[in-house]
Structure 1
Amino acid sequence: MPSRSCLRLLSACLCLLLLGACGEGPLVRQESYVFGTRVEVLTFGTPEPEAQAAISTVLREFDRLHRTLHAWQPSPLTELNTALARGEQLQVSAEMAGLLTVSQDFAQRSDGLFDPAIGGLIELWGFHSDTYVPRLPAPADLQTWLAAHPGMQDVHIEGLTVSSANRAVRIDLGGIAKGYALDRAATLLREAGIRNALINIGGNIMALGAKGKQHWSVGIQDPRGSGALASLALYDGEAIGTSGDYQRFFEVDGQRYSHLLDPRTARPATHTQAVTVLIPSRENAGLLSDVVSKPLFLAAGDWPAMARRLELRDVLRVDDTGHIQLTPDLRQRLRWTKDIPAATIIDPFSSASAPAS
C-alpha cells in the first residue's frame, strides 16, 4: 500500500499534469513509475505512432538510469559505494564520472547544502526505502555521522577512477538524477523529431515547444493543501523543479520529518515547506532545476544569498508558517489559482523587498 507521502506526491504530479494537458489538440501520453515517483511524457502535434515510439524510447532511458543510479538496490552506484566503504578505488562509466564531477561542483558552490555524499545519513533516517517507517535514528548514530563529516570534497575523481579517503562517504544521486533524466529525455525527443512535449518526473518538469497556439501550463503545488497555489506558462526549453517537505516524509508524535536533510545538523530541515525554481532555456536546464532547489530549501531565510550565488532569478519559497516569498521575475509569470495571504517579493540581486500585490 502506498505511503501517505507517496499519495501526496502522486496528487501533486497529477495537479501539474492536468494543467499541462488542458486544451484542444492531438495529445499523446505515456506514463510510468520510476525514480520512486510517477513520470509522464506528453507530445503535441506528432502522429501517434511516431509519438508513442519516441516516448517509449524515453521511458526505456528512464528505466536504464533508474537501474544505474539506484542508491540502495544493486546498481553501479551501490558498487561504487561498497568500494568506497572499503577504502578502494573503482573505475566508473563516463556518465557516472560526469555526474559526480557536476555534483562536486554544486556541492562547493552551495557550501555543501547540496551534497550527494550524504547517502549514509539518508539511510539513517530511513529514506533508502520505498516506504518510510516512522522511526527516528539513534542520536549517537547521528553524532557519529556528523563527526565523520562525509562530503563530496572527500571524493577524488581522476579520469574514470573514483576514490575517497573518508570511508563514511556514501553517494546518493537522488538530488540530481531526475533533472539529468529530464535533459536526456529532451535530447531523445528532439532526435526523434518531436518538437512539442511536456516531460514530468515527479514534479520536475521540462517543456519543449508549445501545445499548439498555447504554451504548456503547469502548477505549483500547495504544500499543505490540495491543488496548485499558482500556475505559469512554460516556454520552450524551460524547466521547473520543486523541493518540498510533503513529497517524502513520515510523522512521529505529530512532527513531520522529511527527506530534505541538512548536512550541518544531520536532521531534516523544518523551516521551509517548499521551494520552486524556474530555469530558463539553457544547457542542462533540467539538471539545474533539480539540483538548485535543495540548497535554497536548506538555506532558510538566507535563500536570497544562495539564489544570488547560484544566479537564480525565478524562485518561490513557502516558509514553515505558510508565508510565501518570491522573486519579482517569477511574480510576473505567475497566475494565482487560489486566495493566498500577503506574499513578500524579494529580489536576491537587490536589497529591496516589498509585499506582493
Structure 2
Amino acid sequence: MSLRQVAGRLRAALLVLLCTTLLAACTRPELYKQEAYVFGTRVDLTVYGEPRETAEAAMAEVLREFDRLHRAYHAWQPSELTALNDAIARGEVATVSNELATMLTDARKLSETGDGLFNPAMGALIEMWGFHADEFVPRRPDPAALQAVLHAAPRMSDLIITGNQVESRNPAVKLDLGGYAKGYALDRAAAILHAKGIENALINIGGNVMALGKKGDSPWRIGLQHPREPQPLATLPLYDGEAIGTSGDYQRYFELDGKRYSHLIDPRTGGPAEASQSMSVLVTPREGAGTLSDAASKPPFIAGDNWREYTRRYGIEHALRVAADGRIEVTRELRARLQFAPGTSRVIVVD
C-alpha cells in the first residue's frame, strides 16, 4: 500500500471519527431551564433529556400552577385564604375549596407533630412584625397587641374542618401558609411533570428543592446556602423523589439597632426565633415529600439545641443545623453525603 493510500485512509478514519463526535454532540440530551418570581422568591425549573418543546411546555404548565397557588393562598392580598380569615374573625363557617380543606387538615397534623412550633394559625404575629408586605419596614410590634395574640393562643387545633366547611373555635386564628405552600407547590410540580412524561427534572423554589430522576449518569447536585456568606456551605447529591427544605434567618429579615429579626416567629414568645441561623432537612422519597420538607424544617429551627427530637418526630434522618453561634450540627446520615466548602470548621456529627 502506498503512502498516499495510507494517508487517504487515515483522513477517512479521522473524518468518520469527527462525524461521530459531532453526531454525539448533536444528540446529547440538553438541559432546559425556566425562571420566575413566585411566592415572594425566585423559582428555577430544570428539565433534562427531553425535546425542547416537551420540556418548555411542561415547565410552562408548572409555572402556571405556581401562579394559581400564589393567588389562591396569598396571606395578605385578596385570596381564598384571606376570605377564610375574614370569616373566622366574624365567627362564621366558611365554605372552601376541597384543595384548601385538604391542605389545612394536613397542616394541622404537621403542626401537632411539632408541638405547634410550626403554626400557620399565627398569621397575626407575622403581620405584626411587618412580614405581610412586599417590602419590610423595620419595626417592632406594639407589646400590648403582641401579648394579646399570645394570650389568645391561636393554633391549628382550633380549626373545625368538616368536608369543605371550615370554622374556628378561636377568632384569633389568622392563617398564613407561608411555611407550607412552597413545599406543597413542589409536590404539585412533580405531579405535573410526571403526568407530562418528564422523568428527569429539578425544581427549586427559593431553596426548597425536589429532584426527579437524575442528570444523565449522575444524580442532581445542589448547594446548601451559607447563612452568613454569599456562597454554599456544602453541596450534596439529591436523588429521585427526594426533597430538601431550609429555614433560615437570612431569607426574609430586617435589621434594627444592629439586631436581626427574621420572619420565623417562635409562637411561644411571639418574637423571631433566635437559636438558629439555618435548618435544612432532607426528606427521602415518600408521599408529600415536598410539603414535609417545607413544614418540618420550622420546628427544629425554632427548637434550637433540641432540634434533633423534632426531626425524629417527622421521620427525618438527614438534617443539618447552623446554630446561632455558627457551629454546624449534622446527622450522621447527611454528613456522609455532604461536601463542605474548604475551610469549614466546627462540624459536629450527631446521631
What is the TM-score when the length of structure 1 is the normalising length?
Answer: 0.90
Partner of 1:32: helix, strand, or coil? strand
> Gaps (5+ residues) in structure 2?
1-27
Residue 117 of structure 1 aligns to which amino acid in structure 2?
Answer: A
Give the alignment partner of residue 38 of structure 2, picking from 34, 39, 46. 34
1:334 aligns with 2:332: no
1:170 aligns with: 174
Q: Which structure has the larger Rg?
A: 2
1:228 maps to 2:232: yes
Mark the runs of 5 or more structure 1 residues left unpaired by the alignment: 1-23, 348-357
How much has 1:25 moved relative to structure 2? 4.6
Matched, 1:257 2:268: no
Match of 1:200 in 2: 204
Q: Give the alignment partner of residue 328 of structure 2, picking from 324, 328, 333.
A: 324
Identical counterparts, % of pairs? 56
Matched residue pairs, number?
324
Q: Does 1:102 align with 2:129?
A: no
Structure 1 residue 337: Cα displacement: 2.1
**1:295: which partner in 2?**
299
CA distance in 2, matches of 1:43, 1:91: 38
Equivalence for 1:275: 279
1:157 aligns with 2:161: yes
Cross-structure match for 1:82? 86
Q: Quick check: 1:229–1:338 contact (8 Å CA) kept in 2?
A: no
Of 305, 314, 330, the residue aligned with 2:318 is: 314
Match of 2:248 among 244, 249, 252: 244
Task: Name the structure 2 match of 1:120.
Answer: 124
Counterpart of 2:218?
214
- Per the TM alignment, residue 57 of structure 1 is displaced from its structure 2 partner at its CA by 0.3
Q: 1:231–1:335: 8 Å Cα contact kept in structure 2?
A: yes
Q: Which amino acid is the alignment partner of residue 39 of structure 1?
A: V
In structure 2, what is the equivalent of residue 189 of structure 1?
193
From 46, 53, 75, the equivalent of 2:50 is: 46
Tell me which of 71, 74, 89 is aligned to 1:70: 74
Matching residue of 1:5: none
Paired residue type of 1:311: G
Deviations along 1:314-343, one digit per CA (max 9) or x if unpaired, are 010000111000100000010112311121
- Tell me the TM-score normalized by structure 2: 0.91
Instruction: Return the alpha-carbon distance in structure 1 between the equivalents of residues 335 and 214 of structure 2.
Output: 22
316, 331, 350: which one pairs with 1:346? 350
Q: Given that residues 30 and 42 in structure 1 are in contact (C-alpha distance below 8 angstroms), is that contact kept between their aligned partners in structure 2?
A: yes
Letter in 2 for 1:274: S
- Structure with the bigger RCO (C-alpha within 8 Å, sep 6+) is 1
Root-mean-square deviation (CA), in Å? 0.8
Find the residue that maps to 2:349 and give its secondary structure: strand
Amino acid at match of 1:125: W
Residue 249 of structure 1 and its aligned partner are, at CA, apart by 0.2
User: Which residue identity lines up with residue 110 of structure 1 in the other structure?
Assistant: G
CA contact (8 A) 2:275 2:303 kept: no
4+ long deviations beyond 4 Å: none
Distance 1:186 1:166 in 2: 36
Distance 1:187 1:304 in 2: 31
